[in-house]
Amino acid sequence: MSGQRVLVTGGAGFIGSNIVDALLDEGEYIVRVLDSFATGLRENLAHCLADIELVEGDIRDLETVEQAVEGVDAILHHAALPSVPRSIRAPVTTNDVNAGGTLKLLSAAAKAGVSRMVFASSSSVYGQSDVLPKSETMTPSPVSPYAVSKLAAEGYCRVFHELYGLETVVFRYFNVFGARQDPRSQYAGVIAKFCQGALSGVGYTVDGDGHQSRDFCHVDNVVKANLLALRAPAVDGRPANIACGDRVTLLEMVAILNELVGHDLPVVHGEPRAGDVAHSQADIERARAVLGYEPVVRFREGLARTLEWYVAAAPPVDGRRKST
């Protein structure tokens, strides 16, 4: 079987499994997945197990990582412990997975002769700066262990590019949402939780006043960026923002969801979350210049698609919508 062999770490997760599907749809890639299923879901891969190679194991285990990278041409690295709140509760584990695991993957990749690795970083590395939009030229100022772990991993990617000849691409994702984002997790993204609140009729719990804003990025945009990164003729190890280049407040999102479901559902305000930034918006010019990246799904369309996916994932039972 011919074709470029691509390893997707975290391939059973929300973003990773969407990337796996896209690679298979392209028809020109041999896809291998590394996942421990600590946060990824087996159901995300159930439909394509016959079409992929699956290595079940932990990114922190060097022997497992070396097995996963053997014979691989490129790596799309999405294995991570996500979430700012989780990192505040478990900073050491977060660092071991996000920074230490990435270092082991880079080391194994360089040793195995892998040509290119894409690393999923985060807009959280920018911290609390009031400057908008966030540009890759800004000095990072992380305010959570999660953000620190991602920034450390970025540094390792740059060093392995410069010292070991492993081509690296660093993507700073901005608030990714879409199909397969699990609303059941206590660390679920706000859109997953809000969609659940909209469909159940319960409404929305907003941390803080709701005026905080984000550059919400539908997962199809991230998938597109990863495919472009595999094909780009040259990369330089520097980070690139992946987002839409605009921002929406939480209260604006509530209004759109209410319009989509046809109900004016209540909002309950809670305390602001520790470590969260107030506003986030990306400058995406570098991704445009280096990769030819353009967002393929804008926010409102993405929100409607995501809501439809949750409807399909949770069909009505006895006239009521079951919880997913």
pLDDT per position as a tens digit, 168-197:
999 999 999 999 998 877 667 899 999 999
Q: Tell me the domain boundaries of the chain.
A: 4-176+218-242
- Average pLDDT of the segment spanning 148-155: 98
Mean pLDDT (whole number) for 207-226: 96
Rounded CA-CA distance 206/157 in Å is 36
Average of per-residue pLDDT values in the chain: 93
| pLDDT score recorded for residue 1 | 40
Which pLDDT value is given to residue 317?
Answer: 33
Residue 156 is predicted with a pLDDT of 98
Q: Which pLDDT band holds residue 84 (cuts at 50, 70, 90)?
A: confident
Look at residue 57 and tell me whether its pLDDT is greater than 50.
Answer: yes
Would you state the pLDDT for residue 319? 33
Over residues 50-59, mean pLDDT: 98
- pLDDT value of position 289: 95
Local structure of 263: helix, strand or coil:
coil
Superfamily of domain 4-176+218-242: NAD(P)-binding Rossmann-like Domain (3.40.50.720)
As to burial, measured by CB atoms within 10 angstroms (0-12 exposed, 13-18 middle, 19+ buried), residue 291 is: buried
pLDDT, residue 128, reads 85
Return the pLDDT at 83. 87
pLDDT band at residue 322 under the 50/70/90 scheme: very low
Distance of alpha carbon 223 from alpha carbon 17, whole angstroms = 10
Burial of 268 (0-12, 13-18, 19+ CB in 10 A): exposed
Please state at what angle helix 101-112 crosses helix 145-164, rounded to 10 degrees: 20
Check residue 129 and give its pLDDT: 86
pLDDT value of position 324: 30
Nearest to 123 by CA among 236, 7, 281: 281
Bridge partners, 170 (sequence order): 119, 239
Per-residue pLDDT at 275? 64
- Helix (H) / strand (E) element for 172: namely strand 167-173
| pLDDT per residue as tens digits for the range 86-120 | 999 999 999 999 999 999 999 999 999 999 999 99
> pLDDT tens digits, residue range 25-47?
999 999 999 999 999 999 999 99
Confidence of residue 315 (pLDDT cuts 50, 70, 90): very low
Residue 220 corresponds to which tokens in the numbers above?
């199809």
